[in-house]
Structures are given as C-alpha cells and as structure tokens.
Amino acid sequence: MVEQTSPSRADEDARRGALMRVAGTASVATALTLIALKVWAYRESGSIAVLGSLADSLLDLVASLITLLAVRVALTPADHEHRFGHGKSEGVAGLIQALIITASALYVGAEAVARLFAPEPLEAPGAALGAIGVSLVLTVALYGLQRYVIARTGSLAISADAVHYSADILTNLALLAGLAVSYWFSLEILDPILGLLVVALILWSVKQVVTESLDVLLDRELPGRERRRIEAIIESHPAVLGYHDVRTRSSGSTEFIQLHLELDPKLSLLDAHAIAQEVEIEVRKAFPRAEVLIHVDPYGIQEPRDPF
C-alpha cells in the first residue's frame, strides 16, 4: 500500500531528528570536557582509578562521535538503493562502540593488576576527588537528557550511548567513596581495586549494547508483548476471519510490521482493500513509527505458512 507522509508525521520526524542531534552533540561536548578534567587529575594524582575513568571518557568520546555519525546516517531519508531507510546504521554503531569499550577496559584492567603488586599513594587526592565529583554531576545531567530523548525517539544509537553513561554514574559514585576511604585510611591497594571495579562495570555495560545491536542487525522480532498487541488489533476487526505470517522487526527507531489477513472470498476487491486499510490504521495508531504491509487472502485457501 502506498501512503503519503502527512504534514504532522513529517513534523514529528523533524522533531525526533532535532532531539537526536541535540543528544549526540551534548554527548560529544560532555566527553571532551571530562577528558580534559581527568587528564589534569591523573597528572596531579597518579591514580589508577582516575586513569580508568579517563580511559572510559576517551571511549565515551569515540562512542559519542560514532553515535553522532550514526544518528546523521539513520535520519537520512530512504532512497533508491536503501528503500527501508538507514536505521540499521545505529546497530552498526552500537557494535563498534562495544569493541572500542572492551579494548579500553582490558587496557585499564592490565594497569590495575600491575598496580596491585606495587601500590602507590595518591599524590593529590583533592584533584582526583574533585575531578570525579564534577564528572558525576555532568554525567547525571547528560544521562537525564539522553533518557528524555530516548523516550521520545526510540533511538538505538542514543540508547547505546546512554548505557555506558549510566554505568559511569555508578562508577563515579564508587570512585568517590573509594578514593576518599583510600586517602583517609592510607589504603593504597584500594586504588587499583577500584580500577578493576571500573573495568567490570564497563564490560557489563557492553553486554546490553551488543545484544540490542545484534537484535537490529539480525532482524529480531519485536517483543512478545508488542506482537500480542498487534494480534489483538487484528482480531478486534469483525470482518477479519483469520490471519497468519505476522512478521515484525525494527530498524533504528522504525518498526516494520507485515501480515496476511484472511477475509470472506466473496468480498469485492474494493471492500477487501478497505478492511485491510482499517486494520492498518489501527496498527499504526498503536505503533506510530511503524511501516505496515498487509496482504489479503481469501479465507479457507491453503498455502504455505510460517511454521512459528
């Protein structure tokens, strides 16, 4: 079915695009600020925990730049050679982010293990504590903005970016407490232990990014709850006698839904088309960003169907 994009939907797409660009730009700006702050703090204190946090911020910068690029590509309208749009670029960006984050975490882990066997006191604890405190405030502010944008756009790239920033919030809280205890009680060995904690949290955040990215790239079905919503909408139409081969997937923030409706074989083509259009409209109400494709079959016709 050919559907013209309404002005209201075009306006909504423009608003979504603007929000995604704002979140991407804010992420890059925050990462640059934190890197400068933590470079200074590490040079002053020599803290492995701060080094781990610096490495994480360097990764955040690379990941944020990738996110910003992915958002730009994902928002590019469909063209002759990309009829389904460019939404999967967000999945690619997520996997690249995961690889970069993992590599950095392993480096910090190696540094932390080495320091476990040769602990050193913090040279300027105030610099380390101050840098981590400012990092916490900026990260919380950025994360709040990202969650707002995700709620209104469903962007996978912004969501992937938010995952490691959420881990950063927990990491910064742990580092603040740990560095304070390490300084006040002269527990030098606590610094590399905190570094290893940072590594563990980073690697844990990678798991969710990889999973969501692969789901998009491998065309995973929408969650069962969403499929049940679609089926309930289909079943609610009094003229629908059956349905089959309901297939769903997502690409970026767009869902793709296709299905076969089984209608009375005595209906005229015009009536069958009208019923299919009514079902499509109801599905689109529940999934405003979805592309819906409906095929009409005469009820009772036997044909090959999906086995699941």
Identify which has the larger pLDDT, 231 or 48. Answer: 231
Clarify whether residues 211 and 228 are in a common domain. Answer: no
Clarify whether residues 189 and 248 are in a common domain. Answer: no
- Tell me what the mean pLDDT of segment 5-33 comes to: 76
| CB-CB neighbours of 112 under 10 Å | 22
Tens-digit pLDDT profile for residues 92-130: 777 877 787 787 777 777 767 876 776 666 566 677 788
Q: For the chain, where are the E strands, in sequence order?
A: 242-251, 254-263, 291-298
Tokens of 181: 């205890």
Alpha-carbon distance of 54 to 195, in angstroms, equals: 11
Query: Which range of residues forms the domain containing residue 267?
Result: 224-298
User: Is 307 part of any domain?
Assistant: no
Of 2-11, 133-142, 143-152, 261-270, the range with the lowest mean pLDDT is 2-11
Identify which has the larger pLDDT, 307 or 35. Answer: 35
Single-letter code of the amino acid located at 104: S
Clarify whether residues 240 and 207 are in a common domain. Answer: no
Clarify whether residues 14 and 38 are in a common domain. Answer: yes
Most confident of 20-24, 160-164, 228-232: 228-232
Residue 4 has pLDDT above 50, yes or no: no
User: Is 155 part of any domain?
Assistant: yes
Clarify whether residues 210 and 259 are in a common domain. Answer: no
Alpha-carbon distance of 151 to 21, in angstroms, equals: 15
Clarify whether residues 176 and 270 are in a common domain. Answer: no
Sort residue 154 into left (φ over 0), alpha (ψ -120 to 50) or beta.
left
User: Is 2 part of any domain?
Assistant: no
Last residue within a domain, chosen from 156, 182, 217: 217
pLDDT computed for residue 43 by the predictor: 81
Tokens of 178: 């740990």
Between helices 7-45 and 156-184, what is the axis angle to 10°? 20
Tokens of 258: 């296709």
Alpha helices in 46-88 (DSSP H): 48-74
pLDDT computed for residue 1 by the predictor: 44
Residue 219 has pLDDT above 80, yes or no: no
Q: pTM of the prediction? A: 0.57
Last residue within a domain, chosen from 193, 217, 241: 217
Look up the CATH number of the domain holding residue 241: 3.30.70.1350
Residue 2 has pLDDT above 60, yes or no: no
Identify which has the larger pLDDT, 6 or 74. Answer: 74
- Tell me what the mean pLDDT of segment 271-281 comes to: 94
User: Is 306 part of any domain?
Assistant: no
Of 14-23, 36-45, 173-182, 269-278, the range with the lowest mean pLDDT is 173-182
Clarify whether residues 242 and 283 are in a common domain. Answer: yes
- Tell me what the mean pLDDT of segment 51-80 comes to: 70
Tens-digit pLDDT profile for residues 162-193: 876 777 787 777 777 777 776 677 666 776 77
Query: In sequence order, what are the residues at sequence separation of 6 or more whose Cβ sits closer than 8 angstroms to the Cβ of residue 184?
Result: none
Compute the radius of gyration of the chain from its Cα atoms: 25
Report residue 258: phi and psi, to 5°. -135, 150
User: Is 39 part of any domain?
Assistant: yes
Clarify whether residues 113 and 230 are in a common domain. Answer: no
Clarify whether residues 211 and 143 are in a common domain. Answer: yes
User: Is 269 part of any domain?
Assistant: yes
Most confident of 68-72, 150-154, 184-188, 265-269: 265-269
Alpha-carbon distance of 263 to 200, in angstroms, equals: 55
Last residue within a domain, chosen from 217, 250, 283: 217
Alpha-carbon distance of 224 to 242, in angstroms, equals: 19
Tens-digit pLDDT profile for residues 240-260: 999 999 999 887 667 889 999
User: Is 303 part of any domain?
Assistant: no
Clarify whether residues 89 and 181 are in a common domain. Answer: yes
How much is the mean pLDDT over the chain? 79
Tokens 């297939």 belong to residue: 247
Identify which has the larger pLDDT, 108 or 196. Answer: 196
The tally of domains found in the chain comes to 2
**% of residues, the chain, pLDDT over 90:** 22
Tokens of 76: 């590019």
How would residue 235 be classed by pLDDT, with cut points 50, 70 and 90? very high
How would residue 140 be classed by pLDDT, with cut points 50, 70 and 90? very high
Residue 20 has pLDDT above 50, yes or no: yes
User: Is 58 part of any domain?
Assistant: yes
Alpha-carbon distance of 45 to 54, in angstroms, equals: 13
